[in-house]
Amino acid sequence: MELHGKDLLVILLIKLGVIASLASVIARFGQFRRLIFVEQRTPRQKLLFAVLLGVPFMLGVLTRLLAKYPGTDLSLEITVLAGLLGGGIAGLVVGMMVSLPAVLIPHEIMGTSNVHELLAAPLAVIYALVAGSARSLCPDKEAIWKFSPFIDLSLYRSIRQRFKEPALDWQILFALMCALLEVMRLTVGRLWHQVFYLDSPTTWGKVLIVVDTMIGIGLPVRIWNSTRIERKLEEQQRMLLEARMNALVSQINPHFLFNTLNTVSSLIRLDPDKARTLLLKLSNILRRRLRSAGHFVPLKEELEFIDDYLDIEVARFGRDKLRIVKEIDEETLEMFVPSMLLQPLVENSIRHGIGPRIEGGTITLRTWRQNGRLAVEVVDDGVGIPLSKQGEIYASGIGIHNVNERLKVLYGQEYRLKIESRPGLGTSIQFEIPALVPAEGTMQEPARASEVRASSERQGPRVGVEG
């Protein structure tokens, strides 16, 4: 199709607008976002990748045929994109999809009616093979995602590096490939008139057509690369949170084990039978911890772990000095909580609250659900926290500080930790978290940090100490 002056400029700008819009829409599909993040794809993934690209642009070709508007036909651009980003097979599938309507539907070309674009499919095969070969030959696949039709910076970079490390500049090669394919289509179209192409009677018009094709291929690459970078940042953040969580859990495990072994060692000479009982309880705890490798467990399992731990402490203190009261809402037992979260709170209450009292005391565990949130409270009637230390309670020691940090990592601002203490009367430690329950019929671990705390991370969590 030969265009002149303003008509050519308008059509070329519309083509760029259409391909940028379609690329942005496609980037919103979760499956596509996952596929562009993977360089080595299975045959099924390649086919899915091709379908996600081919269907929207095939509709563009249909629009050109039915509405007789050339600005929506981007068959060359999308075939080259599919070959560059997905490989030769994906390029061939997309090429066949976008060329099929032009081959099957008769229409008017250059004043001749009922013409089929019989060369559309063979040219699509050439586009796909050339682009797929370029992808295969490129040693660094990340270079494809840096492709830009503006080669001035690539030329400058190539000249600077010529004497340091002579090598091919793939950005320039990709740009030349796109230009040559458009020139080939224009030449074939002028000779045989059985393929869609844009033409201009002026040299500058032809140059604009070639440049427009190069930009049309480079725009989606830039748009989708931004999506890749965003996903990489999310993945790195998730891995960072995972590593931080593992570090916090690893901090609690040896601390708990050290304190328990100290208790057992103090009883070995005085009461060997009791020491043996404690070792059996400790082995039960460790066995349960090995079975539960995740960061979340149902509250029921966490309470069973606390029961074994309290058995150890009761054996050490005596049942007349350490009393345990439970007020557990049955509705909360299947809700998920971070593993090993209650143990530091209970241990703090025993060692710093009940331990210093000669007459002992009582530990009360409460759980309830309110407004879609799970509330857990550990209360003791021990010596309480001195007023001078209440201001630094979140920063001192391992127990409370660790619990606070883990809740912050997992829930962002979606948790609440509150400590109330009155010297001589006791301490209450209460936290609230979102009520996470397993999906119906399953007991799978819920979404981790990045999903649980999706609301916001900029505001601080709700924590407080009351004296």
CATH code for the domain of 381: 3.30.565.10
Categorize the per-residue pLDDT at 168 as very low, low, confident or very high, splitting at 50, 70 and 90. low
Q: What pLDDT shows up at residue 57?
A: 95
Q: Based on the domain organization, do 202 and 319 belong to the same domain?
A: no
Q: Which of 217, 235, 253 is the last residue of a domain?
A: 235
Which of the 8 DSSP states describes residue 439? P
Q: Which of 182, 210, 235 is the last residue of a domain?
A: 235
Q: Based on the domain organization, do 280 and 228 belong to the same domain?
A: no
Q: Based on the domain organization, do 305 and 426 belong to the same domain?
A: yes
Q: Based on the domain organization, do 318 and 415 belong to the same domain?
A: yes
Q: Based on the domain organization, do 361 and 431 belong to the same domain?
A: yes
Q: Per the structure, how many domains does the chain have? A: 2
Q: Is residue 161 part of a domain?
A: yes
Q: Based on the domain organization, do 360 and 227 belong to the same domain?
A: no
Q: Is residue 266 part of a domain?
A: no
User: pTM for the whole thing?
Assistant: 0.65
Q: Is residue 219 part of a domain?
A: yes
Q: Based on the domain organization, do 215 and 282 belong to the same domain?
A: no
Q: Based on the domain organization, do 440 and 357 belong to the same domain?
A: yes
Dump pLDDT digits (tens) for 332-360: 999 998 888 888 888 888 888 888 888 88
Q: Based on the domain organization, do 323 and 450 belong to the same domain?
A: yes
Which is it for strands 361-370 and 322-328: parallel, antiparallel or unpaired? parallel
Burial pattern 322-355, b for ≥16 Cβ within 10 A else e, equals: bebeeeeeeebeebbbbbbbbbbbbbbbbebbbb
In the predicted structure, residue 388 carries a pLDDT above the cut 80? no
Determine contact, residues 285/342, Cβ cutoff 8 Å. Answer: no
Q: Is residue 260 part of a domain?
A: no
Q: Is residue 253 part of a domain?
A: no
Q: How many CB atoms lie within 10 A of CB 75?
A: 27
Lowest mean pLDDT among 51-55, 189-193, 254-258: 254-258
Which of left, alpha, beta for 373 (phi over 0: left; psi -120 to 50: alpha)?
A: beta
Q: Which residue range forms the structural domain that includes residue 397?
A: 271-466
Q: Is residue 27 part of a domain?
A: yes
Whole-Å CA distances, 432 to 81, 107, 463: 50, 68, 10
Q: Based on the domain organization, do 183 and 286 belong to the same domain?
A: no
Coil, strand or helix: which one is 312?
Answer: helix
Whole-Å CA distances, 272 to 175, 278, 284, 286, 319: 81, 10, 19, 21, 18
Per DSSP, helices labelled H in 152-271 are: 152-161, 170-192, 203-268
Q: Is residue 257 part of a domain?
A: no
Mean pLDDT, rounded, for 240-248 = 65
Q: What pLDDT shows up at residue 234?
A: 78
Q: What pLDDT shows up at residue 143?
A: 85
Determine contact, residues 52/26, Cβ cutoff 8 Å. Answer: yes
Q: Please state, rounded to an integer, the average pLDDT across all residues of the chain.
A: 82
